[in-house]
Chains A and B, each alone.
Chain A
């Protein structure tokens, strides 16, 4: 009986919690649908571009016809057939091959089936490419390349992320010093892309000094013991990682420095200084804390960037990662592989955007999920 009696205060509390909960749920739902649609449209556009609006099919049909005609020319049994039987046999073979590659349906249907499979993360079979182990599955091809890309991009990005923030924090406290001016002056150097630094590193360290390899991920023949293998990979990793780090370093430091400087000139920081708080406490509580959302965004975008790899840097250093895979897939017109990498990228980005909203709410009390219309 007692259960039914509720104090007015509890009633109000419950109602409030309900609205907060439904608000979050509603927001989450709407956001999820919006992001899903965005991913779907992005993936579909990629499919359309990768397939040239169906034009690639015509090219493929042409090459299938040619290949089969060539094959049959070598076939003695085929040569002895009657002309009508010959024509019928040829047509049947072509049809069979087109069916194998899924070319018998009109493109518009196929593109939607492709989209549906893509969204289900069923990446399908590659048309021309295969993994080093010989598999045609796009998922396996991508998975095989993933570790090397993660190694390269992970090393470079993690070093970049933490080192630039630390350097920027130090610089923001000592502005006008030599190193501060140095990084301000050096920031235009980041206009040069990493492959460009890569070519120079190859020139200096591989061609002239001969202390690092020209490219690749492992020496030939590969070393036998695991320890030596790891050392050899690290040895090959040095130049590409250095190129990625150094090309982005000055601009990142400059951006973070400016960002920290703006935050450390806020009134509450001055107030904390006046109160006589320790420099460490000021840094952690008054500068880093409010900049946390920005730092998290930067970190998650960095993780997404790791997925696509660095197409040109990997190509220049012959690094067997996803970037080079994309380049080769495009060279071979392998739509399935191109779309596969795009889907993964799109999903990663969408998931990051989605979770960022919640993380912001956790770290920044000013942000209320679904509360205000200001989303950024």
Chain B
């Protein structure tokens, strides 16, 4: 205990190590909170990108905060469930004389301010209709701030139906612009006649429904997809990047820690066994190390990922297995060789200590100063390795991770399309995590191995 305390006391002399420790602590807290508040099943569901999980999200939306940098704000997304909203006015129109017994005409209208400098990505209307035989009939109109009253569509609706403004080619032709929504939201007299410009102000959407049966009813949810969304934006499959950025924390920490601890401890143990038993055991271990160093690490990992399984556990296991018999074993072996002939070991042998006792109680404790810095310094490498595997297409298929986001962004040519947020955010998370461990590791290295210390 006192040893650990002493280390912490000495670490105080390394400001970078303190910064690193603070960051690591924050990351661990974030990881725990993430796992508690976004349970694994929920994260998986969101990341699978089912319509139900992502229907509110626009595609490739920038993070909402980017609007601070813009003079002309980009539209934010919103949704209104007509039957649940207080802002929707309902009017039941008076019956006409020749109407059938059950015909009811209802007008639902909703007004919203649109003061943005860009056109919305899409407007969707999700209809839900109750009826037995006769489909209800609806008419949608939009009143623009400039007083244009545009009829969007008239049609019967089935039990569930979705209407997308930008996919209606008839509407697009009618409005005569590149897309229906540009036609709908653009002003009549733009400054530059070639560039459509948004008419700012209040838009009113009116849905008139005619039902023909008793108890028949139409409800709808309107979703406007803007160009910015949430704290971190969305990707090409409309998934909220926040899920991946948050879930990336526990996964990166887990992968980095398990791999680093596994590799360091196992290679140290094997080196200890190799030196202690010597003879053919030593030779065998040395040969295995040499064979392993001949194998191309990444190629083998890619093969395992492609042919066997891409699960994070398989990859983790493969990474550890391939990294145990590496150059580190030679370093540990050299150190154990020196220790082996030390007088206190001879004393232990004389009083009849067992092999296991000598390895665990006398050899290993002496190697801890070498082990711990190496272990901490190995973590960033493994954290980035997980990202590298994702870029190679070997990421766990269901897990949202930083590397997965970067590789998606890369393969969707995010950089080429100017969607920088998509790559920068996960990259910053990786850098912060990697650097935090590296800073602590370097400090520990200088602490345990004073020969490296300045002065």
Chain A residues in the interface with B (C-beta under 8 A): 34, 38-39, 41-42, 45-46, 49-50, 52, 55-56, 175-176, 180-181, 184-185, 187-189, 191-193, 195-196, 199-200, 202-203, 206-208, 214, 258, 262, 308, 311-312, 315-316, 326-327, 330-331, 333, 338, 341-342, 345-346, 349-350, 353, 376
In the complex, B291 has a CB within 8 A of chain A: yes
Does B294 contact A38, Cβ atoms closer than 8 Å?
A: yes
In the complex, B230 has a CB within 8 A of chain A: no
Q: Distance in Å from the Cβ of B188 to the closest Cβ of chain A?
A: 36
Given contacts A41-B291, A191-B384, A262-B451, 14 further A-B contacts (CB under 8 A): A42-B294, A45-B295, A46-B299, A175-B454, A176-B454, A192-B380, A193-B388, A199-B415, A200-B427, A203-B420, A326-B296, A338-B303, A341-B299, A349-B294
Please classify the interface of chain B as helix (H, G, I), strand (E, B), loop, or mixed, using the class held by over half of its residues. Answer: helix
Nearest-CB residue, chain B, relative to A330: B302
A199 CA / B287 CA spacing, docked (Å): 38
Q: Which of A207, A326, A349 contacts B416 (CB 8 A)?
A: A207
Contacts of B435 in A (CB 8 A): 188-189, 191
Known contacts A45-B295, A52-B308; A196 and B387 CB within 8 A of each other: yes
A349 CA / B290 CA spacing, docked (Å): 10
Contacts of B438 in A (CB 8 A): 187-188, 191
Contacts of B452 in A (CB 8 A): 258
Q: Distance in Å from the Cβ of A120 to the closest Cβ of chain B?
A: 18
Does B296 contact A199, Cβ atoms closer than 8 Å?
A: no
The 8 closest A-B pairs by CB, nearest first: A188-B438, A191-B380, A42-B294, A346-B294, A191-B434, A207-B415, A52-B307, A191-B438
In the complex, B334 has a CB within 8 A of chain A: yes
Does A214 contact B416, Cβ atoms closer than 8 Å?
A: yes
Interface string of B373-385 (1 = CB under 8 A from A): 0000000110010
Does B302 contact A327, Cβ atoms closer than 8 Å?
A: yes
Interface string of B297-332 (1 = CB under 8 A from A): 011101110111000000000000000000000100
Q: Which of A56, A187, A331 contacts B442 (CB 8 A)?
A: A187
In the complex, B392 has a CB within 8 A of chain A: yes
Contacts of A195 in B (CB 8 A): 388, 391
Q: Distance in Å from the Cβ of B452 to the closest Cβ of chain A?
A: 6
Contacts of A207 in B (CB 8 A): 415-416, 418, 420
Please classify the interface of chain A as helix (H, G, I), strand (E, B), loop, or mixed, using the class held by over half of its residues. Answer: helix
Interface centre among B299, B381, B391, B392 (most CB of A within 10 A): B299
Q: Which of A42, A196, A330, A331 contacts B295 (CB 8 A)?
A: A42
Contacts of A39 in B (CB 8 A): 294
Does B420 contact A349, Cβ atoms closer than 8 Å?
A: no
Interface string of B403-442 (1 = CB under 8 A from A): 0001000100001101010011001001100110111011
Contacts of A376 in B (CB 8 A): 330, 334
A185 CA / B20 CA spacing, docked (Å): 13
In the complex, B293 has a CB within 8 A of chain A: yes
Does A206 contact B415, Cβ atoms closer than 8 Å?
A: yes
Does B16 contact A185, Cβ atoms closer than 8 Å?
A: yes
Contacts of B293 in A (CB 8 A): 349
Does A192 contact B431, Cβ atoms closer than 8 Å?
A: yes
Known contacts A41-B291, A316-B391; A55 and B307 CB within 8 A of each other: yes
Known contacts A45-B291, A195-B391, A312-B392; A342 and B296 CB within 8 A of each other: yes
Known contacts A185-B16, A188-B439, A262-B451; A342 and B423 CB within 8 A of each other: no
Does B291 contact A176, Cβ atoms closer than 8 Å?
A: no
Contacts of B300 in A (CB 8 A): 46, 49
Nearest-CB residue, chain A, relative to B417: A207
Of the four ranges (under 10, 10 to 19, 20 to 34, 35 or more), the interface on chain B belongs to: 35 or more
Does A49 contact B380, Cβ atoms closer than 8 Å?
A: no
Does B391 contact A315, Cβ atoms closer than 8 Å?
A: yes
Q: Which of A34, A175, A203, A353 contacts B415 (CB 8 A)?
A: A203
Does B454 contact A184, Cβ atoms closer than 8 Å?
A: yes
Q: Distance in Å from the Cβ of B365 to the closest Cβ of chain A?
A: 24
Nearest-CB residue, chain A, relative to B290: A38
A55 CA / B455 CA spacing, docked (Å): 59
A161 CA / B304 CA spacing, docked (Å): 33
Contacts of B431 in A (CB 8 A): 192
Nearest-CB residue, chain B, relative to A42: B294
A315 CA / B389 CA spacing, docked (Å): 12
Q: Which of B287, B303, B406 contacts A49 (CB 8 A)?
A: B303
Q: Distance in Å from the Cβ of A371 to the closest Cβ of chain B?
A: 17
A39 CA / B302 CA spacing, docked (Å): 21
Does B296 contact A196, Cβ atoms closer than 8 Å?
A: no
Nearest-CB residue, chain B, relative to A251: B438
A107 CA / B84 CA spacing, docked (Å): 67
Contacts of B287 in A (CB 8 A): 34, 38
A327 CA / B237 CA spacing, docked (Å): 26
A338 CA / B304 CA spacing, docked (Å): 13
Contacts of B330 in A (CB 8 A): 376
Q: Distance in Å from the Cβ of B271 to the closest Cβ of chain A?
A: 13
Q: Which of B298, B381, B406 contacts A199 (CB 8 A)?
A: B406
Interface centre among A38, A345, A376 (most CB of B within 10 A): A38
Does B410 contact A199, Cβ atoms closer than 8 Å?
A: yes
Does B294 contact A50, Cβ atoms closer than 8 Å?
A: no
Q: Distance in Å from the Cβ of B453 to the closest Cβ of chain A?
A: 10
Does B294 contact A191, Cβ atoms closer than 8 Å?
A: no
What are 19 A-to-B residue pairs whose CB atoms are below 8 Å? A38-B291, A46-B300, A56-B307, A181-B454, A187-B442, A188-B441, A191-B435, A191-B437, A192-B434, A193-B384, A196-B384, A262-B451, A308-B299, A327-B302, A333-B307, A341-B299, A345-B294, A346-B295, A353-B290
Contacts of A193 in B (CB 8 A): 384, 388
A46 CA / B418 CA spacing, docked (Å): 41
A265 CA / B45 CA spacing, docked (Å): 60
Q: Distance in Å from the Cβ of A31 to the closest Cβ of chain B?
A: 11
Q: Distance in Å from the Cβ of B65 to the closest Cβ of chain A?
A: 19
A316 CA / B407 CA spacing, docked (Å): 10
A86 CA / B324 CA spacing, docked (Å): 55
A33 CA / B300 CA spacing, docked (Å): 25
Known contacts A188-B442, A333-B306; A326 and B299 CB within 8 A of each other: yes
Does B299 contact A342, Cβ atoms closer than 8 Å?
A: yes
A350 CA / B406 CA spacing, docked (Å): 37
A335 CA / B192 CA spacing, docked (Å): 60
Nearest-CB residue, chain A, relative to B451: A262
A331 CA / B441 CA spacing, docked (Å): 36
A333 CA / B306 CA spacing, docked (Å): 9
Q: Which of A45, A56, A199 contacts B423 (CB 8 A)?
A: A199
Nearest-CB residue, chain A, relative to B305: A330
Q: Distance in Å from the Cβ of B136 to the closest Cβ of chain A?
A: 49
Does A341 contact B296, Cβ atoms closer than 8 Å?
A: yes
Interface string of B18-47 (1 = CB under 8 A from A): 000000000000000000000000000000
A49 CA / B307 CA spacing, docked (Å): 9
Does A308 contact B16, Cβ atoms closer than 8 Å?
A: no
Q: Distance in Å from the Cβ of A276 to the closest Cβ of chain B?
A: 26
Does B294 contact A192, Cβ atoms closer than 8 Å?
A: no
A50 CA / B452 CA spacing, docked (Å): 43
Nearest-CB residue, chain B, relative to A43: B294
Q: Distance in Å from the Cβ of A60 to the closest Cβ of chain B?
A: 12
